[in-house]
Structure 1
């Protein structure tokens, strides 16, 4: 995610990297479900962490659909 954010002046590159971060976030949700099903974490913790992950996903989704809002401001203006 940091790599994409530092390159936000290039919208296509930015969206590509943020999309990668969104996929990683989805993998995290799958890992949480796996951890719960194996008894490593309690269902309540999975729910709490999944909610946080869904919040992150919402933010990433906004960045993907509105990359212009995250464009670096030029220092010369």
Structure 2
């Protein structure tokens, strides 16, 4: 539960008022910002391909999480948007692998971000498995 953001420092339940209060959202946002910073150094010929794809998919995780949060009235819609988050997270991981193979990213940089996306995916799976906790 702590990964999702509902436990406070002393084990007290923290009130989650918006998607931005979820630790998983905060992780995804920070990861997207890291992707943005790292892709600034990619070659200009990658601007409309790898750079754009990595930025788009990483940001989409956050955007879809915000949409999922607003669709909590309907379990199927909530889960569908969380599934979109999963897909975008996995897509970002694929782009990270391409960036390493193309030698645009150091393997250690990519490994750290890849690991963050694994944590995000794990949190998303937990949300999907327990949607009733979050429904309105």
Hey, what does 1:54 align to over in structure 2?
118
Where structure 1 has 5 or more consecutive residues not aligned to the other structure, the ranges are 73-77
User: Paired residue for 1:32, among 82, 96, 112?
Assistant: 96
**Aligned residue-pair number:** 72
CA distance in 2, matches of 1:29, 1:14: 23
Alpha-carbon distance, 1:71 to partner: 1.7
3-state SS of 1:71 partner? coil
- Partner of residue 21, structure 1: 85
Alpha-carbon distance in 2 for matches of 1:49, 1:70: 27
Matched, 1:44 2:44: no
Q: For residues 71 and 59 of structure 1, what CA distance do their matches in structure 2 show?
A: 16
State TM-score, norm by structure 1.
Answer: 0.89
Partner residue of 1:69?
A: 133
Unaligned segments of structure 2, at least 5 residues: 1-64
Higher normalized contact order (CA 8 Å, seq sep 6+, divided by chain length): 1
User: Following the alignment from structure 1 to structure 2, what is the Cα–Cα distance between the partners of residues 43 and 33?
Assistant: 9
Give the deviation of 1:61 after TM superposition. Answer: 0.6
Cα RMSD (Å)? 0.8
| Alignment partner, residue 67 of structure 2 | 3
